[in-house]
Amino acid sequence: HLSGKLSSKAERARSAMMNADMDAVEAENQVELEEKTRLINQVLELQHTLEDLSARVDAVKEENLKLKSENQVLGQYIENLMSASSVFQTTDTKSKRK
């Protein structure tokens, strides 16, 4: 009868230890799962940020090309005005001396 009580106590102790081990493993798995979820969310957020930055770079490049083109047109326009204006005409010093 005594050995039955000891066996029962040992069985309960073993069972309690197994439950504690299982709880520890489950808690560790939960922490790992939360960490993985946090990292996945962080990666997704960084991907969205990268997509936004890439779109912004493309928009800035397009605007830059547009402004370069406009600057060329304005530069040509100014050049034409200067060549048509007598104020900007170069004077020939030889013809003035004659």
Q: Which helix (H) or strand (E) holds 33?
A: helix 2-84
Would you say 12 and 5 are in contact if contact means Cβ atoms under 8 Å apart? no
Domain coordinates in residue numbering, the chain: 1-79
At residue 89, the 3 state secondary structure works out as coil
Is it the case that residue 89 has pLDDT exceeding 90? no
Contacts of residue 88, defined as CB under 8 A and 6 or more positions apart, other chains included, come to: 82
Higher-confidence residue of 43 and 97: namely: 43
**Residues 50-70: pLDDT tens digits?**
999 999 999 999 999 999 999
Which pLDDT score, from 0 to 100, does residue 49 have? 98
Is it the case that residue 81 has pLDDT exceeding 50? yes
Which pLDDT score, from 0 to 100, does residue 93 have? 54
**Residues 20-42: pLDDT tens digits?**
888 888 889 999 999 999 999 99
Which pLDDT score, from 0 to 100, does residue 72 have? 98
